[in-house]
Structure 1
């Protein structure tokens, strides 16, 4: 069952788990599970995605319960009327706060979505971020005797494909678990230490005017239990509490064959 975060007669929001596609795509032709079909079967009616969320990213996902509402929500995303807040664990220590202004070229799936109407050239892309917590682990992953990581909150002001992942790579602080834009040696180190194989990026909340009533709606997804466990083991739960970030109870880890984190 997909956790439902909000529902009325016009729209529905779910907590999408990591490793679930929103809808069918030729870029992942062998996948058989999709949020659209799962939610349709769960609630017994058609649903219409209002935006995209990467397969590897967990968190808030909005649907219209009719084409008109979905179209109105999509227009709000295009008009930048939707405030989105994400959480990520990244390599290194970025500045305490920053604004990334770096145009991004279209990806193949953008062209698949827009067809001949796809815009040409690099598109304006902006992301704001702030650093919530840091840690330096006494393990050698690169050429250095220790490794630094940070917990970062992000607000994408535009909505380009893989924007947060590409922007963090651009400033040399890629997300842990990112097999496309990240660092494989750090991804493997986290997988061995925490027994986790997922992108450590989650959409924590979305705030938007209701497309029918105009009332401001805020939908929040608790940080998933597997993500929360990594945060707990890095001693960052206080940072979540300090910034009022809701999280699921961390799962008890499997300690077999795991790398020692602290020495």
Structure 2
């Protein structure tokens, strides 16, 4: 059995650092007989029922929070509904972003269909890298950015679709990304994962009224790619010890 890394626990809540490829819970749309589900794995690991508070895409890694009982889940749910919970992500994207700090304000189709929903994503370009590799036919070098991201809204694949809208595709995103970039990273750096990580979550514990911050360490495939691209991640380290 896979043991999920627990990054936070108190009397009411427990959070894991979700590995890549693990789904949050079972769904009728998932037909893979070998699929792994975080709810099932965590319940087997801790020996009691857990209640997932939110979703993370299957290829995304990072903080995934659960209630330990139904009342704990219902007490925290309003903070998710009114977006008072802050969730910050880290990613590596193609190219240099147009601004060090910017906002992507672009409506997205609901459930990938036709009705449009307001969607807003804030980002910070933490570090940039230019490496002497040809990943496309146009340039002799390749540029990448390490970014911190805060989605103000919670639409399906919002971060992935918003960066695709800017044409600053998330590396390793096989659904909304750039296949040339993905193939380049697979052949040059042996990367088979998407570089999107749910790094930090901030919320108020509704029973104690305490402000909590949960961080999930960056996975090894993300760290290796940072090293491959000469990205130090110094600002991430600085922010994590504030």
TM normalised by structure 2 equals: 0.92
The change in CA–CA distance for 1:241 and 1:58 in structure 2 (over 3 A counts) is closer
Shift of 1:157: 0.9
Which of the residues 90, 94, 100 maps onto 1:96? Answer: 100
Q: How many residues align?
A: 236
Q: In structure 2, the residue corresponding to 1:107 is in which secondary structure? A: helix
Structure 1: state its 5+ residue gaps. 112-119, 247-263
Which of the residues 138, 144, 147 maps onto 1:149? Answer: 144
TM normalised by structure 1 equals: 0.85
1:231 aligns with 2:234: no
* Residue in 1 that maps onto 2:39: 36
Which of the residues 61, 64, 67 maps onto 1:61? Answer: 64
Shift of 1:28: 2.1
Tell me which moved more, 211-220 or 71-80. 71-80
Which of the residues 24, 30, 45 maps onto 2:26? Answer: 24
The change in CA–CA distance for 1:245 and 1:230 in structure 2 (over 3 A counts) is farther
Structure-1 separation of matches of 2:35 and 2:185: 28
Q: In structure 1, the residue corresponding to 2:129 is in which secondary structure? A: strand
Q: Deviating runs (4+, > 4 A) in structure 1?
A: none
1:220 aligns with 2:223: no
* Residue in 2 that maps onto 1:9: 11
Output one character per residue of 1:174-228: Cα deviation in whole Å (capped at 9) or x when no partner: 1000001000110111112221201100011000011212211100011112211
Structure-2 separation of matches of 1:50 and 1:41: 18
* Residue in 2 that maps onto 1:51: 54
Q: Is the 8 A contact 1:13 1:62 kept in 2?
A: yes
Q: Is the 8 A contact 1:51 1:74 kept in 2?
A: no
* Residue in 1 that maps onto 2:84: 81
Which of the residues 126, 129, 132 maps onto 2:126? Answer: 132
Structure 2: state its 5+ residue gaps. none
Higher strand share: 2
